[in-house]
Amino acid sequence: MNGSETIAPILVMLVFASVVAGAMLFIAYFMGPSRLYGPKIETYECGMPPAGNARDRVSIKYYLVAILFLLFDLEAAFLMPVAIAWKQLVVVGPIVLGLLGFFMFFFVLGLWYELKVKAIEWER
């Protein structure tokens, strides 16, 4: 297998993606609004008029819940393949189990922090 056989599908995909993107920009240019004024350039939020300022303070609770989501998301993304390949991993030995313990330690540490700062309790 030479280099041109491996790069050809990538080039075809890049050309196809460029043609599709160019066609979409071309169509949007001709079908889009030509005169922009008041209501056309206002921010649209789910059918409601925008309220407040973009510079308003946001509660830290939202960020703590986002951290909690990432903890559980990463746990699922890491532990599902481990659970599927458990028999093969146990054969490999203590290295894999040590890495799993390392991951679980930091997962439990993050969960402990979330519970310590009471990120799950919305009302105080």
pLDDT mean values, one per 10 residues, the chain (124 residues): 74 96 93 77 70 76 82 84 81 80 87 81 65
- Res 78: pLDDT: 83
Where do we find the tokens 């460029």? 18
- Res 45: pLDDT: 67
- Could you tell me the pTM of the whole model? 0.46
* Nearest Cα residue to 67 out of 7, 117, 23: 117
- Res 4: pLDDT: 63
- Res 85: pLDDT: 83
